[in-house]
Structure 1
Amino acid sequence: MTITRPDLSVFETVESEVRSYCRGWPTVFDRAQGAHMYDEDGHAYLDFFAGAGTLNYGHNNPVLKRALIDYIERDGVTHGLDMSTTAKRTFLETFQETILKPRDMNHKVMFPGPTGTNAVEAALKLARKVKGRESIVSFTNAFHGMSLGSLAVTGNAFKRAGAGVPLVHSTLMPFDSYLDGRTPDFLWFERLLEDSGSGLSKPAAVIVETVQGEGGVNVAAAEWLRALADLCHRHDMLLIVDDIQMGCGRTGGFFSFEEAGIQPDIITLSKSIGGYGLPLALTLFKPGLDIWEPGEHNGTFRGNNPAFVTATAALETYWNDAQTEKQTLTRGEQVEPVLRAIADEHPEDVADVRGRGLVWGMELRHEGRATAVARRAFELGLLIETSGPESEVVKLLPPLTIPPEELDEGLRTLARAVRETT
């Protein structure tokens, strides 16, 4: 595809240097539908990024769009803080009946603010309040957000450095397979907990992603997650699962931890919970943990009513039966052999292929190679991002609703991009 460099002058002169995604995709997008985005010159791009996992149901999903338009046209409440509204009531009732009850979950629902990092901040604050302790344990290569509390439990050195102040009251432990299986799981962690001379303050909670998306698509085994849940229970620590990117069906089940058969004490959701790309975040927790005082944690935009509307429509459309989960797993089975074939074709370049459901990563050996592949893919009409501490992993996050033929098209484009950057 031939791309004429667009006029980016206003972005370069007025917008902050902090902008990032637009640097890898130097065009001006104008429209989007399904698994495609279109720039202002009419070029089509197959989207294997999906708003960093915010658009699990695709761009401008027609069912969700209709619900949103109908709500706006009848002058439904747009901004309501945490006031009771019909949109919020319908969402809570639908979420309880469609998601919580079928999974034997009685978690309370908190609206902490519009983004994932708001949900994480609320989870950390609540865990400390409940247990009366300051320390939180997180894991190597974790990513939990860009505000100070979330950064303190994030592993990436570049992102942590942006805080400008010491990030304290957190301790990092090895994620699953971080030590390549040379040490039994949680040996170090448990030894520190049991030794009064270890210097580790007893943690209030442990926060974990079942699949580390930004960390490089590192997949925790179900056995590892069950062992972690058991460790938390035995040592009186709350288990927080950050399901902001991997929840809402990304790995198959609605929650990414379902495969492991665990029920976390606290769960954070954002990104695709709103369905349509509208900001919404939830912090879920077991009822006994709900010791908040009214207004103790609040925010101006913690009740996004248009997002309640599209979130409800998404739940009703995609989660009343097991079809979405089955389709996602089937699409994952479509992706994996193609990525492994690429790895077999380029053994000197591809170090590993890993993923679950419709999140996949292909780790490349040489510095800058993954970035080069993503750049070439863009030139060929495919949007993919990189992840991992050195941006060494090509990361695939296509919409869950992507048709199989479009998924095949994107995978062929990826294979070509790898081939043409050797």
Structure 2
Amino acid sequence: MTIFDKLESEVRSYSRGWPVVFDRAQGSWIYDEDGRAYLDFFAGAGALNYGHNNPVLKQALIDYISRDGVTHALDMFTVAKRDFLEALDQKILKPRDLDYKVVFPGPGGANAVEAALKLARKVTGKESVINFTNAFHGMTLGALSVTGNSMKRGGAGIPLVHATPMPYDKYFDGAYPDFLYFERLLEDSGSGLNEPAAVIVESLQGEGGINAARLEWLRGLSELCRRHDILLILDDVQMGCGRTGPFFSFEEAGIKPDIVCLSKSIGGYGLPLAITLIRPDLDVWEPGEHNGTFRGINPAFVTAAEALRTYWNDDALEKSTKAKGERVGAAFTEIAESYPDAGLVAKGRGLARGLEFASGELAGQVCAAAFERGLLMETSGPDGEVMKVLPPLTLTDDELTKGLDIIGEAVRAVLAK
């Protein structure tokens, strides 16, 4: 470990909770250099929905590299990019009656968000964007300006402007009608609210604490945006690609956002890839007006296309994810009911689940106890108070059972002290 302490910045985080050196991984498992196996309920923070080194995706990647397929191409036309776009259109967009053009903004989720914010302002000529409490949209300055976490915002070093936070669903525990404050400010000429170009929202807040918006709340937000001529940006970076069941986390609400941000598992294999989907009439970019050196990583196009063809030909993965998610939800509810004095709350949808504790200290202790027993999971929420699980969608029923058993043991070890 000496070289990490000597050379790597203090900004590192995950390695502090999992102080081992990992060497290889397959499926739902990751192994340290001594060969110890860990069941991975973290999955690259949602970047590995199809598991580590998925054999189907790996073979497609090996074949492409072996034939000297183009690796780096910026935004040039390539066979790999064409194959990805055709798969996206045939397997995802057309079956859902979604009409979007595709922006390749750069390799990460923050790139997708930055492109969305930039385009919304260009199209509307307005600067202000509405975001929500406990939102997380990335660590670059534009994405950070619409992020809620004060610690992450504090790292910017400058004022973060042109964004106004509004209460996310259930922020006031149902004490007020949905959007009462937001709509009143929009309609009151004396409110001081700058007319917004867009609203950016996650249908399920992952980093914010596994806060799942009600479907009727999402529909209400979409209708509000339409009434007031505000663009709706849906950040599906972590919760897209099947994490909640359907490919897009907003599908069950029946809405069609103006702009959608995808990254993490869109690459299929854990390779960096991000896309921003935009309504065709919003495509007002000048050539090269938004670009990036690594916006055309062709090996990621290859694995992304193979993932879409393999897992989104039918609804088998969606049904499996929902069923497994119900198992996790039931197990977390049972744990919460077993400790009535602890104030635990089961949260989430699909295979994005959480268990909220009274403090971040307790949630962190449970994650540490799980790690000792061979399970990786992280905390989320403004104070790290939510034990968060994002297992690969492809995990087996036996692996799910094992993981839930370890979580139960970890909770007992901490709360029984």
- Asked whether the two chains share a fold, i.e. TM above 0.5, the reply is yes
| C-alpha distance in 2 between matches for 1:23 and 1:225 | 36
Equivalences for 1:52-131 in 2 at 5 Å? 52-131=45-124
Kept in 1, the 8 Å contact 2:28–2:40? The answer is: yes
Alignment of 1:152 with 2:151, yes or no, is no
Instruction: State the shift of 1:349 in Å.
Output: 2.2
- Residues 107 and 286 in structure 1, CA contact (< 8 A), matched pair in contact too: yes
Deviation at 1:367, TM superposition (A): 4.3
CA contact (8 A) 2:359 2:383 kept: no
Q: 1:92 to 1:104 in 2, by over 3 A?
A: same
Tell me the matched-pair count: 415
Asked if residue 352 in structure 1 is aligned to residue 345 in structure 2, the reply is yes
| Counterpart residue number, 2:371 | 378
- The corresponding residue for 1:276 is 269
- In structure 1, what is the Cα distance between the partners aligned to 2:11 and 2:65? 33
- Is the CA contact (8 Å cut-off) linking 1:350 and 1:362 kept in structure 2? no
Name the SS of the counterpart of 1:30 in structure 2. strand
- State whether residues 124 and 197 of structure 2, in contact with CA within 8 Å, keep that contact through their aligned partners in structure 1: yes
RMSD (Å), alpha carbons: 0.6
Aligned equivalent of 2:32? 39
Which moved further from structure 2: 139-148 or 345-354? 345-354
Which residue of the partner structure matches residue 5 of structure 1?
Answer: none
Q: Distance in 2 between matches of 1:351 and 1:22?
A: 27
In the TM superposition, what is the alpha-carbon distance from 1:350 to its structure 2 partner? 4.2
- Determine the C-alpha separation between the residues in 2 that align with 1:186 and 1:326: 32
Task: Look up the SS of the partner of 1:204 in the other structure.
Answer: strand
Cα distance in 1, alignment partners of residues 197 and 388 from structure 2: 33
Alignment of 1:317 with 2:317, yes or no, is no
Which secondary structure state, in structure 2, belongs to the residue aligned with residue 117 of structure 1?
A: helix
Query: Separation in 2 of the partners of 1:177 and 1:266?
Result: 24
Alignment match, 1:289? 282
Aligned residue identity for 2:161:
V
What 5-or-longer segments of structure 2 have no aligned partner? none
Determine the C-alpha separation between the residues in 1 that align with 2:272 and 2:386. 27
Q: Distance in 2 between matches of 1:391 and 1:350?
A: 15
Q: What code does the residue aligned with 2:272 have?
A: P
TM-score (norm 2): 0.99
Name the CA distance, whole Å, in 1 between partners of 2:33 and 2:18.
13
**1:343 — aligned with what?**
336
For residues 207 and 2 of structure 2, the distance between their equivalents in structure 1, rounded to whole angstroms, comes to 30
CA distance in 1, matches of 2:341, 2:87: 50
Q: Return the alpha-carbon distance in structure 2 between the equivalents of residues 133 and 366 of structure 1.
A: 40
Which 4+ runs in 1 deviate beyond 3 A? none
- Percent identity over the alignment is 67
> What stretches of structure 1 of length at least 5 have no aligned partner?
1-7
Residues 1:267 and 2:263 are matched in the alignment: no
Q: Deviation digits for residues 120-150 of structure 1, max 9, x if unmatched?
A: 0000000000110000000000000000000
Query: How far, CA to CA, are the matches of 1:125 and 1:67 in structure 2?
Result: 35
Structure 2 distance, partners of 1:322, 1:367, is: 37
Partner Cα separation in structure 2 for residue 324 and residue 183 of structure 1: 37
1:224, 1:106 → 2: CA distance? 23
Aligned 8 A contact 1:135 1:169 in 2:
yes
Residues 377-416 of structure 1: per-residue CA shift (max 9 Å, x gap): 0000000000000000000100000001100100000000
TM-score (norm 1): 0.98
Letter paired with 2:214? A
Structure 2: which amino acid aligns with 1:53? G
Determine the structure 2 residue equivalent to 1:23.
Answer: 16
Q: Which amino acid aligns with 2:93?
A: L
Distance, in Å, in 2 between the alignment partners of 1:85 and 1:61 is 24
